[in-house]
Amino acid sequence: MTADTPVEASSARWSPALASVRADALDCLQANLAVLADDAHGAGAHLALGAPAGFATTRTPSGLPTPAAGPERRLAEAEELLGLRTTARWDGVDGPRLRELLRDNAVLYVIGDAYTMPWVPYAGHDHMEHSFLLTADDHGDAGDAGDGTVLVIDAYHNDTPWGSARPGVWQLPAADLDAVLATKGTALALEATAPPQLDAAAVLTANATAMSAAGPRIDAYVTAMREAVGDPDALDALVLDVWVLGRARTLHAAWLGTVPGVSADAAEARAQAWRRYAAHTYVAARRARRGGAVPASVIDQLDRLLRDDVETARRPAVPQAPSDPRAVVVEELTAVLGADVAGLPSGAPLRDLPQFNSFRLVDVIERVESRLGTTIDPEALREDSFDTVDTLCRLFSATPAVEEAS
**pLDDT (tens digit, 9 = 90+) per residue, 279-330?**
989 988 888 888 877 888 899 999 999 999 999 898 765 555 455 778 888 8
Residue of 219, 250, 222, 194 lying closest to 22 (CA atoms): 250
**Span 325-397 CATH architecture:** Orthogonal Bundle (1.10)
At a CB cut-off of 8 Å and minimum separation 6, what does 355 contact? 336, 337, 338, 339
Q: How confident is the model at residue 389 (pLDDT cuts 50, 70, 90)?
A: confident
Q: Which amino acid is at 280?
A: H
CA distance 29 to 196: 21
Highest average pLDDT, of 6-15, 32-41, 136-145, comes from 32-41
Q: Would you say the CATH fold of 325-397 matches that of 7-192?
A: no
Q: Which pLDDT tens digit goes with each residue over 80-89? A: 999 999 999 9
Supply the pLDDT for residue 142.
40
For the domain covering 7-192, report its CATH number: 3.90.70
pLDDT on residue 145 = 35
pTM for the predicted model, two decimal places: 0.77
CB 294 within 8 A of CB 235: yes
Distances (CA, A) of 43 to 48, 152, 169, 375, 378: 12, 20, 18, 37, 44
In 354-365, which positions are buried (b, 16+ CB within 10 angstroms) versus exposed (e)? eebeeebbebbb
Considering only residues 114 and 330, tell me which one the structure prediction assigns the higher pLDDT. Answer: 114
- Name residue 200's amino acid: A
> Residue 278 to residues 153, 172, 210, 240, 293: CA-CA distances in angstroms?
27, 34, 24, 9, 18
**Boundaries of every domain in the chain:** 7-192, 201-314, 325-397
User: Is the bond leading into 52 cis (omega within 30 degrees of zero)?
Assistant: no
What are the DSSP calls for 160-221, one per residue?
Answer: ETTEEE--EEEEEEGGGHHHHTSS-EEEEEEEEPPPP---HHHHHHHHHHHHHTTHHHHHHH
Winning range, highest mean pLDDT, from 183-187, 318-322, 396-400 = 183-187
Q: Is the four-CA dihedral 36, 195, 98, 123 of positive or negative sign? A: positive
- The whole-number pLDDT of residue 125 equals 96
Q: What is the pLDDT of residue 2?
A: 56
Taking only the tens place, the pLDDT of each residue in 362-371 is: 878 887 877 7
Q: Cβ-count burial of 272 within 10 angstroms (0-12 exposed, 13-18 middle, 19+ buried)?
A: middle
Region 52-57 average pLDDT: 94
CB contact burial 218-246 (16+ within 10 A = b; e otherwise):
beebbebbeebbeebebbbbbbbbbbbbb
User: Is 247:240 a contact under the CB 8 Å cutoff?
Assistant: no
Distance of alpha carbon 121 from the chain centroid: 24
Query: What is the per-residue pLDDT for 277?
Result: 93
